[in-house]
Structure 1
Amino acid sequence: MRELNERMQAAPIVPLIDESDADRAVATAQALQEGGLTVIEVVLRGEGALEGMQAIVDAGGDLIVGAGTVLTLDQARQVHAAGAQFIVSPGLVDDIAKYCLDEGLPFFPGTVTAGEVQRAYALGLREVKFFPASLAGGVPMLRALGSVFREMRFMPTGGVSPANLPDFLALPHVLACGGSWLTPNDAVAGGNFGAVTALARQAIDLARSVRD
């Protein structure tokens, strides 16, 4: 978790890769890395998503690769075996949390309410996802949660964009923001990976304007 935290502090943005084609997944990851983003989340939404994540891991490079949209304990075990270095879920599942804690695997479960954040805290987690961020109250809700759960750090995801990224990153208890705007479907499908690199660089510049 230490290296993951250090990288998120340096570049507090976690881009999401939603790609079932392994070659495009690898090319997207490499484009993000070229743009300075080295922590990525591969979401398990398509049939070939796991193979895409495995291909990114096998390709090497200076990347920390996580698996997102992990819904069950079996999926958590599967992605861990495939090389995932952290796990992200849309909600909080106790079995997944306990597995990740036992394995020393960083886990970011989706939380919305104070009850969910408190449950995550009671399980021993200190980092959680705030999802869907824009629909769940956005910055005001996250500010309220942070004022109560002062040891918790949040990764808002869902509706985060260049327009509101500075507002989220201005909150001291936000570890990083997750976002799919960095990997637009049309650019990835069309092989325009230079656009992905440019978006990554723009996001880092925007983040540094707030955090620095």
Structure 2
Amino acid sequence: MTSGLWEIVLRGVWVTVQLLLFSALLGAVVAFTIGMARTHRLRSVRFLAGCYTEVFRGTSALVMIFWVYFVLPPAFGWQLVPMWAGTLALGLTYGAYGTEIVRGALNAVDPAQREGGVALGFTPWQRMRLVLLPQAVPEMIPSFGNLLIELLKGTALVSVMGMGDLAFSGNLVRLALQQSAEIYSYILVIYFLIAFLLTRLMRGLEKRLKEQLAGQPTGGGVA
């Protein structure tokens, strides 16, 4: 490929990385907020959180992108730029999957730790922040790592909006060169390299968090 075509591909890589970062941040906020709500003592809160999870887990990310970018603007009289439309659709959708990771990890914490927090007079938020989350988060990392890889692959869906991500840029180069096998092979390798880097980063984070937890005198919980 010529340098000009490589420039197009590299711009696509940068757009994909930005979209991945923004949607992952939104997804993390959604996952922890709704995931913690699913363990709330009030049934009404658990019900509403469960409704959100089921609706967004049961909805295609591609259809959600269409809704956010093509359907909602005429209804509300505003238009999101493709980057923010993609971020919103992917963050809300993949965040719904993350809620189950958070809920499962919180429920897996030894009940005695909750009881210890109650005995010490901690408020529900203090128990969550000081007792439950420090023990649950390291257990979430492997599952969140897998979800992050799925999100990376899901970013290719934004090409339907004409957004210049890696998949869209690769297709432009393919049309210019009429060489499908070569171009898509390059694209596959680039996606793999990004995914491999994410995997190593998440494993490093998991190891660090577990080392910190093991180094706490009380084992990361309530003595």
Structure scoring higher RCO (CA < 8 A, sep ≥ 6) equals 2
- Bigger helix share: 2
Q: Same fold (TM over 0.5)?
A: no
Query: TM-score scaled by structure 1?
Result: 0.29
Query: TM-score scaled by structure 2?
Result: 0.28
